[in-house]
């Protein structure tokens, strides 16, 4: 596998995957040609109901149903929800999963209404808004972590020579991601990406400072306590999956800011739980873990997720997916900076190249075909 001056890596098309931070090249070489297993952790935080916090739904009420609609589309391909600008990234994910026959598992916790498609039901915990500083109880966070540890090990058995794509669908999740990263000691204010055209950094920071102030008054400064205070259920589950699955197979954390927070959380939990006084040791294999997103997140002028990746020490890469030549206005909206990422779109785009060596043009055509088949609402 060769590289070029732009950090791309590939075979017939050297710029399909961009290297952004650290060195994921050994991971890419190890899993080229392998079929992955796709996992999406679907969850909810009442942070997503705060006005203007997210563009993943026109209104707070609409944002209650974003994850439900995306998951139903992934399974049925029937109704693709519109957004304020552009269209759900679920169309990218479904195009790759269906065309390359990649197995899919949905894991659900804390949704306002139950999923109507096949899924794995996790312990339920709807997270309160981040500014409360009491999003979940510590026991809820611990229960979700244990569930992630269990399902990470179970699903890893399906791809012992390959890798899990671990993705998320949590409206408002970049805010809770920033909160957890801040609680873990990382300086990320102004660096986080979002679904908005320009990042709503001031709003996020104000909410996070409120939440962290409450948390600090209550004490309990473990990584899991940080999630319980200002995080969301997905983060605890995903961290558990990374810790356990990485001991058996590769893990591609599919997303930008949110999955960099999961990487940092898994790293912090492993470090804390490896101490002699801890009741139970938890280990992971970081050489098996990378974070992958879209170039729209990397090129977001109002954020710098590459700087976050360097800070947390995560191998970070991006698909060079491009819709600038698409005849569909909804897809060209991505090139204008709307949406950018979600429900594993970037990770699936990376996997499309690794598994079947798709070019960026092949990927675009597959997404357009999926869009033509869908009914929009």
73-82, 94-103, 111-120, 332-341, range with the lowest pLDDT: 73-82
DSSP reduced 3-state for 106:
strand
Rounded to whole angstroms, how far apart are CA atoms 282 and 142? 13
Given a cut of 70, whether residue 208 has pLDDT beyond it is yes
Instruction: Give, in order, the Cα–Cα distances in Å from 106 to each of 10, 99, 135, 231, 354.
Output: 30, 18, 23, 20, 22
Say whether pLDDT at 259 is over 70.
yes
Per residue in 14-53, pLDDT tens?
A: 479 999 999 999 999 999 999 999 999 999 999 988 876 6
> Mean pLDDT across the stretch 207-218?
94
Enclosing domain of residue 360: 2-376
Q: 13 pLDDT exceeds 50?
A: no
Q: Which of 163-167, 255-259, 299-303, 371-375 has the lowest mean pLDDT?
A: 371-375
pLDDT in tens, 98-108: 999 999 999 99
> pLDDT category, 56, cuts 50, 70, 90?
low
Q: Lowest mean pLDDT: which of 14-28, 225-239, 285-299?
A: 14-28
Question: What is the tally of structural domains in the chain?
Answer: 1
> How crowded is the C-beta side of 21, counted as CA atoms within 13 Å?
20
Q: Model confidence over 213-229: pLDDT tens digits? A: 999 998 788 999 999 99
- Non-local CB neighbours of 365 within 8 Å, separated by 6+ positions: none
**62-66, 118-122, 366-370: range with lowest mean pLDDT:** 62-66
For tokens 């297993």, the residue is 37
Q: What is the pLDDT of residues 344-360, one digit of tens each?
A: 999 999 999 999 999 99
CATH number at residue 57: 3.40.50.10210
- Round to whole Å and give the CA distance between 180 and 230: 6
- Positive/negative CA dihedral, 181, 182, 186, 187: positive
pLDDT of the residue at 10? 45
pLDDT of 281 > 70? The answer is: no
- Average model confidence (pLDDT) across the chain: 90
């Amino acid at each position: 596998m060769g590289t070029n001056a732009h950090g791309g890596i590939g075979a017939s098309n050297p710029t399909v995957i961009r290297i952004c931070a650290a060195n994921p090249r050994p991971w890419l070489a190890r899993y080229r040609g392998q079929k992955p297993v796709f996992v999406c952790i679907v969850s909810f935080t009442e942070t997503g109901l705060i006005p203007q916090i997210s563009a993943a739904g026109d209104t707070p009420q609409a944002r209650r149903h974003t994850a439900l609609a995306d998951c139903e589309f992934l399974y049925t391909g029937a109704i693709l929800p519109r957004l304020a600008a552009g269209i759900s990234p679920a169309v990218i994910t479904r195009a790759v999963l269906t065309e390359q026959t990649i197995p899919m598992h949905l894991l659900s916790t804390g949704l306002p209404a139950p999923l109507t498609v096949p899924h794995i039901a996790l312990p339920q915990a709807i997270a309160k808004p981040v500014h409360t500083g009491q999003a979940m109880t510590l026991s809820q966070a611990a229960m979700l972590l244990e569930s992630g540890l269990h399902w990470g090990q179970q699903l890893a058995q399906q791809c012992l020579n390959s890798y899990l794509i671990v993705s998320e669908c949590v409206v408002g999740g970049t805010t809770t991601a920033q909160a957890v990263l801040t609680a873990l000691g990382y300086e990320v204010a102004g660096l986080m990406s979002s679904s908005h055209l320009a990042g709503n950094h001031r709003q996020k920071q104000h909410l996070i400072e409120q939440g962290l102030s409450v948390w600090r008054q209550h004490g309990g400064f473990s990584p899991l306590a940080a999630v319980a205070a200002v995080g969301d259920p997905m983060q605890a589950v995903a961290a558990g999956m990374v810790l356990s699955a990485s001991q058996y197979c590769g893990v591609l954390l599919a997303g930008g800011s949110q999955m960099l927070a999961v990487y940092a959380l898994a790293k912090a939990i492993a470090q804390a739980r490896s101490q002699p006084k801890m009741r139970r040791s938890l280990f992971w294999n970081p050489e098996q873990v990378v974070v992958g997103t879209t170039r729209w997140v990397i090129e977001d002028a109002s954020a710098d997720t590459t700087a976050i990746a360097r800070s947390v020490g995560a191998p970070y890469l991006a698909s060079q997916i491009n819709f600038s030549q698409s005849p569909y206005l909804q897809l060209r909206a991505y090139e204008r900076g709307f949406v950018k990422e979600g429900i594993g779109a970037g990770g699936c785009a990376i996997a499309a190249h690794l598994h079947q060596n798709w070019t960026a043009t092949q990927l675009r055509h597959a997404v357009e075909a999926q869009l033509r088949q869908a009914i929009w609402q």
